[in-house]
Structure 1
Amino acid sequence: MVSIPEYYEGKNVLLTGATGFMGKVLLEKLLRSCPKVKAVYVLVRNKAGKVPQERVEEMITCKV
């Protein structure tokens, strides 16, 4: 049995819903716990009159 960091080592991950509550938690946990993950791709859609880039910038600069 391999650990979670070992499993994700060198792998690419696609994460949908990353701007939602659970998505933010999962993204943070993945980046913190799996430093050798190759890449994380985040799928973000338009919402509330904001383009995906604006939503990602808000998520990154959030104080949480």
Structure 2
Amino acid sequence: MVSIPEYYEGKNVLLTGATGFMGKVLLEKLLRSCPKVKAVYILVRHKAGQMPQERMEEMIKCFEVY
């Protein structure tokens, strides 16, 4: 049995719902716990007058606090 960081080492991950509560938690945990993940792709949709790029930038600002 391999550990979670070993499993994701060198892999690409697609995460949908990354701007939601659980998506943010999962993305943060994945980036913190699996430093050798190759790439994380997130799918962000247009919502409430915000473009996907704006929503993603807002989410990244939350991560910078920690």
TM surpasses 0.5? yes
Alignment partner of 2:49: what SS? coil
Structure 1's unaligned 5+ residue stretches are none
TM-score by structure 1 length?
Answer: 0.95
Structure 2's unaligned 5+ residue stretches are none
Number of residue-to-residue matches in the alignment: 62
CA distance in structure 1 between the aligned counterparts of 2:5 and 2:39, rounded to whole angstroms: 13
TM-score by structure 2 length?
Answer: 0.93
Identity %: 90
Q: Which runs of 4+ in 1 moved over 4 A?
A: none
**Greater per-residue helix proportion:** 2
CA RMSD of aligned residues (A): 0.4
